Every structure is written in structure tokens, then in C-alpha cells.
């Protein structure tokens, strides 16, 4: 009888503890997640840092955390972590009173996009498992995955040569209105650049040194239509060439910006915010420009908005812009539009990106 009484009391206390824990201890449990970097390039690796905090004086025999992980985020395997198909996340913890557990999940950012890990379902209970309680918690942890940047040998060589010529032209062009220093006069220097006060002070002819101009403005336009008759959303097997085109465009824009040029980007793709037109950001320069363009590309969905001829006709392209068209085909209407751009003072280079490098 004594043993039965002890077992009965133990069972009652266990059930009571599970009830108290499930209904009151859950309120003092919290889980947070964050990524080691807010923005990364496709293919890079980083960490998703998960913190489980128990602010209660009660121990939690078991806590189950369940959530869905977007397919573009590939988590590495670790103890007490179940990844079903790489998209369903389940982890079980034992949490002591006032304890904080920090787990670092290695992540491979496998695909361009903007990802949020969303909500997590928390379930906790006592040792018996008969009393449990669940609630959802908004984790609000997001990461921006920029398009993959291509190595020089992975770029289409005609395009690589073109951007190289533009960078050289920019390097050889000087802005007569900006001065970055003074140097001794050399044969061939224009008289207008002579700095007379410095010449008088040193007794030798001195000339102003001008900064290179950022007048070279690159606009990369991507045609998401692989064929003239194609419309709306692409099939999975068709999205690879467009993703490659996005990487080509991203690489060229970054290369241009880092070379001191102004750069812009346009594509007849949905940008995740408005669906009526597409993506268009005219050429611009500045310290934040690279992140701005890459983040814009990360948000794009592979869904066509307008036919390419209509898309071109609705864009206002500044005079004197160096336009690079990435397209899988050309039509007479497109060629006519290219001619009009050239007549307005733009240079237009066309490349079939669907043929790869």
C-alpha cells in the first residue's frame, strides 16, 4: 500500500506540475532568431542564431519548437534537430529555470530572395506528457539574399569586353569642374588648367589635376521573355536562364559602380510590391547604390509583367546612357526601338544571355 500511495502521489504531483507548467510556465518562455548578417550573396554561408529563454523559476522537461524554413535556406544537420525535406524544422529542448540556450545553425543561402522564418509553434509539458500547451510566436527574422556574382570567366565574353571598354572610357574622361590636386606642368597640358597662385609660389608651372568623371551611365535591361510568344509565369525549367541573366546583370552593375560609373537596372519582372509595370531604376551612383540595386534584384519574382516591346516603350531612358540589353531574341519592333535610342544619343549593345557565356 505504501508503494501504491507513493506512486499515486507521484502521479498526481506529476500531472499537477504538468498542468501548472503548461498553463503558466509557457508564458515565461521565449524564442528568438536572427541571422548573422542581414544581407548575403547567393551561395554564401552564414548562421541562424536561435535563443531559447526560460524566465520562469520552473524547469521545462521538454519544449518542442516547430516551424517551416524556406527552401532557399539550407540548414546544416545538428543534434536534436529534425529537418524533414529541408523545409520543416523541429527541435526539442530541456530548459532549466532561468536558463538561456543559444544554438547556432549553419545556413547555406541557396537561392536569391527575401526570406523570413515566420512563426514558430512552441509546445511544452511535464514529464508524463499528458498535460501540454502550445502557442505560436512571431520570430520576425529575415535575411536578404542578393543574386550570385559571377567570376570574370563566367561572364559572357562580349559583355565583359563591353563593360571593360566603358570603364576605360570613364577612366580616361576627366571632369573639368572638379579638382583633386596639383602637379607640375607637363607637355600637352592645357593652359586653362594652370594654377597661377601655385605657379607663383613655387616658381615652376603647376596645373590642376581633375577627378575622373562619372558621366558614363550604364543601364542594364533584362528581358525575362525567353521567346516572343511567352507570357506570365515561367515553368521551373525555364527559370534557370533568367536567374543566370539576373546574375549577369548584378555582376555588371556592381562592376560598373565599383569602377566609378553610374549604374541602373530594369526588367519586365514583378518586384514583389507592384505588379503593373516591372522593375526600373535609372542610372545613379553613390555609396549606397550597390546595396540598393542588389536588394531590388533580390525581391524580384520570375513572373513577366509586360511584353518587352511595351516595357521598352514605357521607360524614360536619359539621353547619353550606355544601354546594355540582355535578351533571348530580337524582333523588328525591338530593333526599331534600339535605333530610336541610338538617335537620342544612347549607345545600345544587345546580347543573347540565354546562350550563357
Confidence of residue 9 (pLDDT cuts 50, 70, 90): very low
Confidence of residue 111 (pLDDT cuts 50, 70, 90): very high
Same domain, yes or no, for 22 and 82?
A: yes
Same domain, yes or no, for 262 and 200?
A: no
Same domain, yes or no, for 123 and 21?
A: yes
Query: In what order do the strands lie in the sheet containing 88-95?
Result: 81-84, 88-95, 60-68, 119-125, 132-138
Rounded to an integer, what distance in angstroms lies between the CA atom of residue 26 and that of residue 169?
65
What's the total number of domains in the chain? Answer: 3
Same domain, yes or no, for 246 and 287?
A: yes
Rounded to an integer, what distance in angstroms lies between the CA atom of residue 209 and that of residue 178?
8
Q: Give the lowest-confidence range in 26-30, 67-71, 169-173.
A: 169-173
Rounded to an integer, what distance in angstroms lies between the CA atom of residue 148 and that of residue 235?
21
**CATH at residue 230:** 3.40.50
- More confident position, 283 or 137: 283
Same domain, yes or no, for 219 and 114?
A: no
Same domain, yes or no, for 137 and 191?
A: no
Same domain, yes or no, for 185 and 80?
A: no
Dump pLDDT digits (tens) for 225-277.
888 877 766 777 778 899 999 999 999 999 888 888 899 999 999 887 666 78
What does DSSP assign to residue 181? E
CA 215 distance to own-chain centroid:
27
Query: Would the pLDDT of 172 be above 50?
Result: no
| Residue 246 confidence (pLDDT) | 96
**CATH at residue 11:** 2.60.40.10
Same domain, yes or no, for 138 and 204?
A: no
Same domain, yes or no, for 87 and 158?
A: no
Same domain, yes or no, for 156 and 281?
A: yes
The helix (run of H) or strand (run of E) holding residue 41 is strand 39-41
Kindly report the backbone phi and psi dihedral angles of residue 133, in degrees, each rounded to the nearest multiple of 5, phi listed first. -145, 140
Range of the domain at 56: 2-146
The helix (run of H) or strand (run of E) holding residue 105 is strand 100-109
Same domain, yes or no, for 87 and 232?
A: no
Rounded to an integer, what distance in angstroms lies between the CA atom of residue 248 and that of residue 150?
7
Same domain, yes or no, for 108 and 190?
A: no
- Alpha carbon distances (Å) from 106 to 103, 205, 234, 287: 10, 62, 32, 30
Amino acid at each position: 500500500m505504501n508503494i501504491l500511495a507513493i506512486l499515486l502521489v507521484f502521479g498526481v504531483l506529476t500531472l499537477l506540475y504538468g498542468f501548472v507548467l503548461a498553463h503558466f510556465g509557457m508564458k515565461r518562455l521565449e524564442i528568438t532568431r536572427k541571422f548573422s548578417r542581414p544581407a548575403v550573396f547567393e551561395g554564401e554561408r552564414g548562421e541562424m542564431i536561435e535563443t531559447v529563454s526560460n524566465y520562469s523559476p520552473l524547469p521545462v522537461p521538454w519544449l518542442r519548437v516547430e516551424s517551416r524554413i524556406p527552401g532557399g535556406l539550407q540548414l546544416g544537420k545538428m543534434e536534436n534537430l529534425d529537418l524533414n525535406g529541408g523545409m520543416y524544422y523541429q527541435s526539442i529542448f530541456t530548459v532549466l529555470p532561468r536558463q538561456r540556450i543559444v544554438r547556432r545553425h549553419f545556413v547555406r543561402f541557396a537561392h536569391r530572395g527575401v526570406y523570413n522564418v515566420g512563426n514558430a509553434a512552441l509546445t511544452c509539458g511535464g514529464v508524463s506528457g499528458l498535460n501540454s500547451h502550445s502557442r505560436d510566436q512571431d520570430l520576425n527574422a529575415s535575411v536578404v539574399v542578393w543574386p550570385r556574382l559571377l567570376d570574370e570567366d563566367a561572364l559572357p565574353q562580349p559583355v565583359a569586353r563591353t563593360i571593360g571598354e566603358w570603364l576605360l572610357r570613364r577612366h580616361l574622361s576627366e571632369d573639368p569642374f572638379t579638382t583633386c590636386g596639383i602637379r607640375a606642368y607637363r607637355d600637352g597640358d592645357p593652359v586653362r588648367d594652370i594654377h597661377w597662385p601655385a605657379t607663383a609660389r613655387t616658381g615652376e608651372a603647376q596645373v590642376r589635376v581633375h577627378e575622373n568623371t562619372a558621366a558614363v551611365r550604364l543601364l542594364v535591361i533584362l528581358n525575362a521573355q525567353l521567346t516572343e510568344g511567352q507570357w506570365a509565369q515561367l515553368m521551373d525549367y525555364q527559370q534557370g536562364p533568367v536567374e543566370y541573366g539576373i546574375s549577369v546583370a548584378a555582376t555588371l552593375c556592381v562592376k560598373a559602380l565599383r569602377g566609378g560609373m553610374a549604374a541602373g537596372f530594369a526588367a519586365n519582372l514583378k518586384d514583389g510590391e507592384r505588379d503593373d509595370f516591372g522593375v526600373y531604376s535609372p542610372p545613379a551612383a553613390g555609396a549606397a547604390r550597390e546595396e540598393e540595386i542588389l536588394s531590388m534584384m533580390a525581391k524580384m519574382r520570375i513572373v513577366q509583367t509586360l511584353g518587352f516591346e511595351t516595357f521598352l516603350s514605357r521607360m524614360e531612358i536619359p539621353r547619353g546612357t550606355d544601354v546594355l540589353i540582355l535578351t533571348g531574341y530580337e524582333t523588328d519592333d525591338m530593333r526599331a526601338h534600339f535605333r530610336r535610342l541610338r538617335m537620342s544619343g544612347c549607345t545600345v549593345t544587345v546580347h543573347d544571355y540565354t546562350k550563357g557565356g
